[in-house]
Structure 1
């Protein structure tokens, strides 16, 4: 069964083009490591919450957009292999100039329990 990496991050509005370029570059490497698909979604309607919300989760600041992303892998082993390559493949280090605050990025790995 597939395996999913999920991300939520705040990105300055003025960095939208740089974020998109970064995603396009990284996709080539993720694909090489076996990723099936990558989805980058720019905030359209993301309401503020009182207890929980996407903006609260990433501590969105004025002038930032919330980006919701996920990546599909054929299996956990492929995802783990790619994750391990972050330490060994120098090409990842070339992409470290991220157009967002990585300290406020939320991420995790997920095992699908239903797909339609």
Structure 2
């Protein structure tokens, strides 16, 4: 089954277009290194929680949107190999140069992790 890298981050709402441009540019690198797909999702229906929620996880401010993203890999070995390569790419690829493609969000409040897929159901409607 596939392997997923998941991300949750807070982005100033005024930076939506800059975020889309940044993500489109940077995410292409994941695909070039074996990712199956990358999804970047902008908050639409994200409720405030009573105990915890997405907003609290990234310390989102009132003028920020919560975004959820994931990179799907065919397996963990492909992901690990790509990540080793991506460390080098981050240093040399102009698409990752912060001067040319600055992060339009506070990277210190980004949360992420790698996840093993344990259930994968697909509808015929998805195809």
The residue that corresponds to 1:106 in the other structure is 111
TM value normalised by structure 1: 0.92
Any runs of at least 4 consecutive aligned residues in structure 1 with deviations exceeding 3 A, and if so which? Answer: none
The residue that corresponds to 2:69 in the other structure is 69
> How big is the shift at 1:44?
0.6
Gaps of 5+ in 2: 122-127
TM value normalised by structure 2: 0.85
CA RMSD of aligned residues (A): 1.4
> How big is the shift at 1:87?
2.4
* Corresponding residue SS for 1:34: coil
* Corresponding residue SS for 1:7: strand
Gaps of 5+ in 1: none
Q: How many residues align?
A: 116
Q: Give the conservation status (yes or no) of the 8 Å contact 2:26–2:96.
A: no
